[in-house]
Amino acid sequence: MSDVRTWLVTGANRGIGLEIVKQLIASPTNVVVATCRKPESASALQELATSSSGRIHIVCLDVSDSASISTSVDLAKGVLNAHGLDYLINNAAIMPVHDNSFNLSEETILRTFKVNVVGPALTTQAYLPYLEKGKRKIIVNISSALGSLSLCPQKQQIASYSLSKSALNMLTSKQAVARPDLISFVIDPGWVRTDMGGQAALLSPKDSAAGLLEVVTSATKESSGKFFRYDGETNPW
């Protein structure tokens, strides 16, 4: 199977991450390392894996724990050794509280940065040797309009989360400059009906993931360092 494409998705047990895996597996050439913090209780993901003819490999990964990141590489390497890693999707994130810039708690802001910024940074570093071996070499960091200085509504603070997504945008820009041989960009998935987005959100996980995967699979060198929306438009920083 020389046209195999390998993917790794973080936070794949629910929300947008789970929907991404579901859509990926519809294509018989995709092999997916679907990671989550608690594989034993990831029932929806386990169900998908059962019907995937062995193309979904569930691996434990808590992106806020560097030991867990390195153990995950050991668990995933059997899958990635042959073809490398074509697409890394750093999707896992938290939005713990609706804090504002004058009532920040040290614990909340540090925890948010650990999951939303340090997690994707260290996960990408850990999987770099496999990305280098992959045919596509694509790093996708899932960001948010709330990380955009221009788009974040002035009255909507959600400060720790917004700060973390702005930092993730900067990380991505730096990755793109540092490694022109790779393709690294951010995508805003839109406002999506998940545990994080809430049921009033405008988009279904299905529509968001479908748009996002279209952007990801059609990415070229020119995509690197850019801030896309799930529908292929670009966002201002």
Ligand X SMILES: NC(=O)c1ccc[n+]([C@@H]2O[C@H](COP(=O)([O-])OP(=O)(O)OC[C@H]3O[C@@H](n4cnc5c(N)ncnc54)[C@H](OP(=O)(O)O)[C@@H]3O)[C@@H](O)[C@H]2O)c1
Least distance to ligand X from the beta carbon of 15, Å?
A: 2
In the chain, the DSSP E strands lie at 5-9, 30-36, 56-60, 87-90, 138-142, 183-188, 227-229
Least distance to ligand X from the beta carbon of 35, Å?
A: 7
**Which CB, 132 or 230, lies closer to ligand X?**
230
**Does 94 engage in binding with ligand X (CB under 6 A)?**
yes
Residue whose C-alpha is closest to residue 137's, from 92, 79, 83 = 83
Site for ligand X, residues 21 to 40, rule: CB under 6 A: 36-38
Residues whose CB is less than 8 angstroms from the CB of residue 179 and which lie 6 or more positions away in sequence, other chains included:
none
Residues whose CB is less than 8 angstroms from the CB of residue 61 and which lie 6 or more positions away in sequence, other chains included:
10, 35, 36, 37, 68, 69, 72, 123
Q: What is d(CA 89, CA 24) in angstroms, rounded to the nearest whole number?
A: 12
Which one among 73, 109, 196, 210 touches ligand X, defined by CB under 6 A? 196
Query: 165 catalytic, yes or no?
Result: yes
**Which CB, 143 or 224, lies closer to ligand X?**
143
Count residues near ligand X (CB under 6 A). 30
Q: What is d(CA 206, CA 227) in angstroms, rounded to the nearest whole number?
A: 21
**Does 64 engage in binding with ligand X (CB under 6 A)?**
yes
Residues annotated as catalytic are: 161, 165
Q: Catalog residues that contact ligand X under the rule CB under 6 A.
A: 10-11, 13-17, 36-38, 61-64, 91-94, 115, 142, 144, 188-189, 191-192, 194-197, 201
